[in-house]
Structure 1
Amino acid sequence: MRDRGTGTLTRAYREGWALGAFSTYTQEITQAICRAAEDAGRPVVVQAGASAFVHAGLEELAAQAVLAADRATVPVGVHLDHSRDLAQIEACLRAGYTSVMVDGSHLPFEDNVALTREAVALAAAHGAWVEGELGAVPGDEDVSQSTAAGELTDPARAAEFSARTGIDALAVAVGNVHGTAAGPTPLDLDRLAAIRAVVGVPLVLHGASGLPVPELHAARALGVAKVNVNTELRVAFLAALTESLPEVTPGADVARALGRAREGVQGVVRTKISALSDAVGAESARP
């Protein structure tokens, strides 16, 4: 079932667990995310994001994600990740997306506020919620590379940004990176605590691939209610696909190869869902 509204996000924030938000590029990855969620009996978010449209096409990837969410037996949100284009945001909202992320983090503060306010107005007309971003989460969302942490989110600015834009969730930069870190980069948990103290909306952690489970647990306890995972899914997909090649190549069995890749992703998603929701009472954690 498509997870409309902020109810699941708000419940995660209030109860101290986090929604796993998993990026997709193909039908097989979308299926893997939904199947893992059903296996776990947990809500998730499928992120059919802006960068993936270059490969799959907006209408095609959106339709796959919305259909999979509607058919799922657990709540599944469909989310537009890292969009800087209001026309693209509106197109996804019309396609049935339940939430969007407007990324004005590259802009001067006032321009980021203005862009984000426009996105909030668009989403409200469709009953969708909005994630904004303040601070710089460096790295490439689609290609793994060694990356150092960028400009961190300022708590005072975060409070102003949240109040002026009307966002439902705020993506923060607290030492997290897209892709892989250049070296050990523990999250700045003191900064995260300071942001939570002054921002009254759920927080979002991008670049969670590779973060140790204790750090994910600590982030959950400090107001992070949505955690984005991408790199580990891509790695699992390609590793399973590569491992299947000797077996499938003689018969050119594409379906079996893609099935193995889907299974690889599904396993990673199950593990992440557990890390983001364990130690939560069964009744309160389930949708």
Structure 2
Amino acid sequence: MLANTRDVLKHAQHHQYAVAAFNVYNLETVQAAVKVAEKEQQPVIIALGERYFPTVDVEGFSAMVKGIATKASVPICLHLDHAYEKKSIIRAIRSGFTSVMYDGSKYELEQNIQHTAEIVDIAHMAGVSVEAEIGSLARGSFSDEEEGSGTLTDPLLAKEFVAETGVDFLAAAIGTVHGMYQGEPNIDLGLLEKIRQEVEVPLVLHGGSGTPDEIITKAVQAGICKINVNTEVSMEAVSFLQRYFKENEMVHLSTVMADMQMAMEPVMTKFVQLFANR
């Protein structure tokens, strides 16, 4: 079933687990995420980044996801990830996305608040929930995200930001990175605890790929309700294709895509089970 992301994350917050938000790019990544969600009987968030708009027909993509979600036995959310342009957010809302992320982290706090509050007003009129970010993630290896400053979230500024914008859930920067870590992860769980004390809305952790399992578990227990995963799934799919074509000279595309989907499912399953905090 297609679900409002805010409602799904409120349930996760109340029951102390996190929902996997998988970045997707095509039919196979969507089908893999939904299949895993149904098998594990956990909700899942299908996340399409603004950076993929040039290669993905947004309206067609939304129709596809909504069609698949309608048949699912668990809540499926459709989320716009890391959008910087208002026109992209409006396009996603009109297409039927159930949540959008406005990323104003490059701006000073006052500007970020102003822009985010405007997006919240627009989205809420359509019944769409909003994620925003204060602080910024650095970029690690194998990521296609923009380079961030790596500035950690200030708990008191986060409290002000949420109060002034009315945002539904907040991405907190505590030391994770987009992509894979270069060197040992330096993740500040103590900072997360302080943010949780100041902020009542569900908290989001970007950069789930490569983060040690024990850190993920502690982060969920400390209040993280949504965790974004992109790079590890992408790396598994690409590695599979590299192995596949070394072993097979010529095969039909339909077979390749079906097998690639199957290769991604165990990676997604690992994350869904870990985030469930059972």
The normalised TM-score by structure 1 is 0.91
CA distance in structure 2 between the partners assigned to 1:218 and 1:114 by the alignment: 33
C-alpha deviation, 1:65, in angstroms:
2.4
Residues 2-58 of structure 1, C-alpha deviation per residue, up to 9 Å, x if partnerless?
012522201111221001100001111111111111111110000012112222232
In the other structure, the counterpart of 2:271 is 272
After superposing the two structures, state which structure 1 stretch, 62-71 or 120-129, moved more: 62-71
Structure 2 runs not aligned, ≥5 long: none
**Number of matched pairs:** 277
In the other structure, the counterpart of 1:186 is 186
**Conserved in 2, the CA contact under 8 Å of 1:135 and 1:153?**
yes
CA distance in structure 1 between the partners assigned to 2:202 and 2:180 by the alignment: 25
CA distance in structure 1 between the partners assigned to 2:260 and 2:53 by the alignment: 20
CA distance in structure 2 between the partners assigned to 1:31 and 1:71 by the alignment: 12
SS, match of residue 228 in structure 1: strand
Residues 105-155 of structure 1, C-alpha deviation per residue, up to 9 Å, x if partnerless?
01111110011111111111111111110001121797369x898110011
- Write the mapping of 1:215-230 to structure 2, written as runs, cut at 5 A: 215-230=215-230
Indicate how the Cα distance of structure 1 residues 63 and 99 shifts in structure 2: closer, same or farther if over 3 A, else same: same
Question: Stretches of 4+ moved more than 6 A in 1?
Answer: none
Structure 1 runs not aligned, ≥5 long: 280-287
CA distance in structure 2 between the partners assigned to 1:77 and 1:6 by the alignment: 9
CA distance in structure 1 between the partners assigned to 2:7 and 2:244 by the alignment: 41
SS, match of residue 138 in structure 2: coil
Indicate how the Cα distance of structure 1 residues 98 and 138 shifts in structure 2: closer, same or farther if over 3 A, else same: same
In the other structure, the counterpart of 2:257 is 258
CA distance in structure 1 between the partners assigned to 2:208 and 2:149 by the alignment: 13
Indicate how the Cα distance of structure 1 residues 44 and 141 shifts in structure 2: closer, same or farther if over 3 A, else same: farther
In the other structure, the counterpart of 2:6 is 6
CA distance in structure 2 between the partners assigned to 1:139 and 1:71 by the alignment: 36
SS, match of residue 274 in structure 1: helix
Indicate how the Cα distance of structure 1 residues 148 and 134 shifts in structure 2: closer, same or farther if over 3 A, else same: closer
**Conserved in 2, the CA contact under 8 Å of 1:207 and 1:229?**
yes
SS, match of residue 45 in structure 1: strand
CA distance in structure 1 between the partners assigned to 2:9 and 2:143 by the alignment: 28
- Write the mapping of 1:37-76 to structure 2, written as runs, cut at 5 A: 37-76=37-76
C-alpha deviation, 1:171, in angstroms:
0.2
In the other structure, the counterpart of 1:159 is 159
**Conserved in 2, the CA contact under 8 Å of 1:149 and 1:176?**
no
**Conserved in 2, the CA contact under 8 Å of 1:134 and 1:173?**
yes
C-alpha deviation, 1:247, in angstroms:
5.0
Residues 241-271 of structure 1, C-alpha deviation per residue, up to 9 Å, x if partnerless?
2222245533x31111111111111111111
CA distance in structure 1 between the partners assigned to 2:141 and 2:81 by the alignment: 10
SS, match of residue 54 in structure 1: coil
CA distance in structure 2 between the partners assigned to 1:196 and 1:113 by the alignment: 19
Residues 181-221 of structure 1, C-alpha deviation per residue, up to 9 Å, x if partnerless?
22112310111000000011111000110111111111111
SS, match of residue 170 in structure 2: strand
Instruction: Give the aligned CA root-mean-square deviation in angstroms.
Output: 1.9
CA distance in structure 1 between the partners assigned to 2:142 and 2:90 by the alignment: 23
Q: Kindly provide the amino acid, as one letter, of the partner of residue 22 in structure 1.
A: F
In the other structure, the counterpart of 1:282 is none
Q: Kindly provide the amino acid, as one letter, of the partner of residue 28 in structure 2.
A: E
Q: Kindly provide the amino acid, as one letter, of the partner of residue 192 in structure 2.
A: L
What is the identity percentage for the equivalent residue pairs of Structure 1 and Structure 2? 34
In the other structure, the counterpart of 1:284 is none
After superposing the two structures, state which structure 1 stretch, 238-247 or 108-117, moved more: 238-247
SS, match of residue 180 in structure 1: coil
C-alpha deviation, 1:239, in angstroms:
1.6
